[in-house]
Structure formats: C-alpha cells, structure tokens
Amino acid sequence: MYSYLFTVIVAICVVALVLRRDSKLVSALMAVALFLVVALRGPEVGPDTKKYLFFFRFGSYGTDTRDFEPLFEYFNQYLLSLGLSDRMFLIICAVLSIGIVLYTIWKASSFKILSVALLLACFQWSFYLTGIRQGIAMGFFALGVYLMQDFYQLRSFRDFKVGAQIKTVLAAVLMMISVFFHTTALFAVLIFIVVFFFRADSKFYLIAIAISFVVAIYGAFTSIGEVMESLFDIVEGRMSMADRYEGYLNTKDSFSEIPLYLMLKDLLPFNVIAVACLIYNRDKKYTVYEHLYFWLVIAANLLHSFSYMFRMRQYLYPMAAVAVATLMFPILKRRKLSTIIPVSLLIAYVILSAIVTYVILIAMDEYNYTFLG
C-alpha cells in the first residue's frame, strides 16, 4: 500500500507543478496520509523501530548499552508510567516529529503541495520511520524556527508585545529541548545562530555555494582513477544495493562507496536548485527558512564526506522544503519562456528523487511496509 501511496502523492505534486497551482485541501490530505504512514506503521518497519519499542518497555536498546539523552529517557519513563501501549508510543512520537514538521510546513510554505512532496521524495522523509529520537528533535527545532521567524525579521525584543515575547522565549526553549532529545541538533542550532547574526545576500550565497561545491568535488574525487572506478561500479549494476549510508546495510557494496552516484543524486541537484532559486530571486528579502536552506547547501558541500553529515542535514530539510517551494512559487506563476528551465528542473528533481527513494524503500527489508502489524 505504501508504494501506491508514495506514487500517488508524487504524481499529484508533478501535476500541481505542471498546472502551477496549489491546493490547501490536497496538500492537507497528503500531509495527513504521510502522518498516518509514520504513526500506524508496523513495529518491524524502520531499522530502529523495534529497538526503540524494546527500550520503551525495558530500558534497553537491544544489545546497545549506551546512555541516551536524559530528556528522551525521561520522556520514555513518563509515557510508560501512563500505561501506554507500543502503538500509542509510536503515535505520540509521530505527533512530535513528522506531525510538527508538517504543521510548520503548512503554516510557512507558499506552495504547500510542493513542500510536502519535497519532504517525501527528496529530503529523506523515510528517516521519520526509524530515527525516533532525532525525529522528535527535528520537530521541536522546526517549531522553534517557526515561532522565532518574527523576531528574526525585527530583531528587537523590546518592541514586541508580551505575546510575541513569550513566543520568542518559547522558540529558544524548543531549540534547547531539541538538543536534549538528540545532541546532533546542536548542528542546526549553530547554523541558526550563524543565520541570525550574519544575513548574506544573493551574491554571497552564489559565490559560497560555487566554492563549496568545488570543495565537494575535490573531496569526492581525489584522482581520475576513482572517477573511472565509480563509473564502472554503476555500470556493473550495483545500484540494486541501494543505500547511501555506510552501516545501514550489511554489505560493503553500498552507495556510500560510489562518490559519482552521490554527486549526481545528491549534491548536484541540491546545488543547481539553490542557484536557480537565487538567480530568480536576487532582490528578495530572504526569510529565515531561505537563509537556513542556502547554508544547508553550503554545509552539505563542505561536510559531504563526513560520515554523520546525513544526520545533521535532517534538521534543515523542512526549512529547505519551505524555502524551495516559497522561492519557486512566484517563478511558477510567471508563465514565461524564461521559467521553463527552472520548472522543468524542479519537476525532474522531484521525479528522479522519488524513483531513488522508492527503490531504496522497497529494496530494504526494514522498510517492508505494514500497517499496525
């Protein structure tokens, strides 16, 4: 069922892009469907779901004896003291993770259908099926950014009304809570601090993205031999071993060893979409979501070879989903010949990313989807 749902939602997005129209009703139905897929998944769906359920019941994460963040441990103990079932645990986690993220996207995006589809197809949506701790941290951080956006624009706490001041303080608290649910949220908080105090223009971002992309290429290909080896690896058909992150499969023949694939699937469209958004919105006063998106691209380029970078980037993907949709929406409405290239590029990006995500999810036993189960 999940594969059909996935295909339908991506198809809806493509039709919306071609027609250049948004629909609150359709995007709401898409968001609800995604939430239910996470909340009502079977206990075996997602590489770490079963382990988190075991930790919820017995305080042990399988054979892993490490300590988790104190707030997450307290969160588990409190829910267990209420006598909640495993299903209720997963539903509450879904509300605090993808539920809050979808709410943020709904409130902040100018093109909701595209934002939801970007989250589904392009920005590692499947992470919500397994990364329960980090998923909750991502939800709190996304809500914190949403509540902070007015303060970000004005930067004057004293000029705020009492209600706005309380909202700003709450935003800061939510960001701190995200860190105590998963320490990798520190990366997102630090990027937010940079964005808050350093507001660059389109020229800076274009130069920074170009330079960081060159650094990424240099880091991926240290010799022509590695480039040729990557080409042969893809030609030989190892794409069936679909997974990008080393350690998530029991085989060494994973995409984490194919730098050319990573460049073509991940960084190249990431950078091209960002550059297109900048070129067509040079004079726009960027929001906090758009600044975070551009810094996400720069950080992804510079830290692409860092093994845990995929975890760090998760926090900024909802910001990217809002930013890309908001920046592209006025371009979509122009209906001029000059918009054919960015619109076609965006459609191709969604379709190709959806194909890759679809293949990965059906190829891995941990994502053999069942409801309730």
Residue 136 has what pLDDT?
94
Q: Considering only 191-205, 238-252, 310-324, 349-363, which range has the smallest mean pLDDT?
A: 238-252
Identity of the highest mean pLDDT range in 46-60, 82-96, 248-262, 266-280: 82-96
Residue 153 exposure: Cα atoms within 13 Å on the Cβ side: 11
Residue 310 to residue 328: CA distance in whole angstroms? 25
Select the more confidently predicted residue: 339 or 42.
42
Instruction: Average the pLDDT over 51-58 and give the result.
Output: 84
Position 331 scores a pLDDT of 79
Judge whether 14 and 344 are in contact, CB under 8 Å: no
CA–CA distance, 46 with 129 (Å, rounded to integer): 5
Residue 206 in this model has a pLDDT that exceeds 90: yes
Burial 298-318 (b: 16+ CB within 10 A, else e): bbbbbbbeeeeebbbbbbbbb
Quickly state the pLDDT bin for 157 (edges 50, 70, 90).
Answer: low
pLDDT value, residue 220? 61
Mean of pLDDT over the chain: 79
Instruction: Average the pLDDT over each of 123-132, 172-181, 233-242 and give the range with the smallest value.
Output: 233-242
SS3 292: helix
Min mean pLDDT across 127-136, 219-228, 274-283 is at: 219-228
- For residue 192, is pLDDT > 70? yes
Rounded mean pLDDT, 115-125 = 83
Cβ atoms of 358 and 18 closer than 8 Å: no
Percent of the chain topping pLDDT 70: 80
Q: Which of 150, 47, 140, 71 is nearest to 108 (CA)?
A: 150
Higher-scoring residue by pLDDT: 268, 254? 268
* pLDDT value, residue 145: 93
Q: Is residue 264's pLDDT more than 50?
A: yes
Q: Of residues 334 and 15, which shows the higher confidence score?
A: 15
pLDDT tens digit sequence for 219-238: 665 544 454 455 455 444 44
Q: What is the mean pLDDT of residues 295-316?
A: 80
Averaged pLDDT, 171-187: 91
pLDDT of residue 66: 60
pLDDT at 101: 94
The rounded distance, in Å, linking the Cα atoms of 22 and 202 is 27
Band the pLDDT of 307: cuts 50, 70, 90.
low
Give the lowest-confidence range in 115-129, 152-166, 188-202, 286-300.
Answer: 152-166
What is residue 174's predicted lDDT score, i.e. its pLDDT?
A: 94
User: Percent of the chain at pLDDT above 90?
Assistant: 20
Predicted pLDDT at 255: 39
CA nearest neighbour of 238 among 257, 224, 263, 217: 257
